[in-house]
Every structure is written in C-alpha cells, then in structure tokens.
Amino acid sequence: MPTGNSYSTIQIVLKDGYYSYANINSAVQATLISSGAYLINADGDNVFYFNLSENATYYSCQIDLSPVPTSLPSGWTRPPTGLYSTSGTGLPLGFSFVPKLTIDNSEFGKIIGFEAGTYPTQSLYTLQSILSPIPPQINPVSSYQLRCSLERRLVSS
C-alpha cells in the first residue's frame, strides 16, 4: 500500500477453503482494516483502494486499484490505528499512487488467473483495472454429466 514516500507491504494469508471472488475480496478488506490501510468517507463507510471481482464478460478476474489520496478529502477521516492513521506512516506524499498487488504463490495466482509477479509493475497515479491474462481456476469444473438416449424406434406404415 502506498504510504509516505514508499510502499508498505501487507501480507494476506487465506486459510485452506473454498472461496469466491467476494470471499477473497472480503478477506483482503478485513486485512486492510486491521492494518489501517483505508479511509472513512463522509457517510462513515470504509473506502478501500483495492477491489477484486469477477468479470464474467471476459471470463476473468478483475483487480481495480484506485489512487490513494495525498490528503483527506473534505469530511473524510482516518482510521483510528494503522498505516493511514495520524500515528501511522501516513498517506502518500506528493503523488496519489495506486496500490500494488504482489502474487508470490503461483497456486493462488492460478486461482485468480495471474502469474506470480507484481501488478502493476511500476508506480502509477491513475485508476488501474487489470484483467487476469489466463483463465482463473476459482471454480474449476471437476466433472461433467452427459445423458444420452440410445433408444431406437422404427416407424412403419
């Protein structure tokens, strides 16, 4: 996550289980909350700068990365503790960087359709929507069921 003059690494560990995109995104958001890597808007809602979702049109996983502001928007507040709190490392200085996602486990990468690596590869300042380049295996089909009638009917007149 972009903070101060650099990036802070937040490690996210998923326990063994069956996950949907929404489950993975919720786990990421829970970790961001515990790390203080979010802001609170004027309505009191948590604002996250990372979102993982399904893109059914392209049969892919979509990762949206929004720029973290350099200062609080009007009416917004910081979390009570953690990175973006007043006692934390703070918001990015100078430029609104987007977070980076590092996939260091190739098996997890297969699940969401990304190879091991960092996305985006460089520091960027604008909204990034990244589609997985390979088909995700989040819900792999492990069996098919085929029914066929082999009945033969002869019709005579």
Residues whose CB falls within 8 Å of the CB of residue 36, separated by 6 or more in sequence, listed in order: 79, 80, 81, 82, 83, 84, 85, 88
Burial class (CB in 10 A: 0-12, 13-18, 19+), 141: exposed
What is the predicted pLDDT for the residue at 69?
A: 93
Three-state SS at 8? coil
The reported pTM is 0.82
Non-local CB neighbours of 102 within 8 Å, separated by 6+ positions: 9, 117, 118, 119
Q: Where are the domains of the chain?
A: 2-131
Q: Tens of pLDDT along the chain (157 residues)?
A: 767 777 888 899 888 888 899 999 999 999 999 999 999 999 999 999 999 999 999 999 999 999 999 999 999 999 999 999 988 888 888 888 899 999 999 999 999 999 999 999 887 889 999 999 999 988 755 556 667 767 767 777 6
pLDDT of res. 97: 86
Mean pLDDT for the chain overall: 88
pLDDT at 7: 81
Which residues in 16-133 belong to E strands, given as ranges?
39-40, 46-47, 50-55, 60-65, 101-103, 117-119, 128-131
> What pLDDT, on a 0 to 100 scale, did the predictor assign at position 53?
96
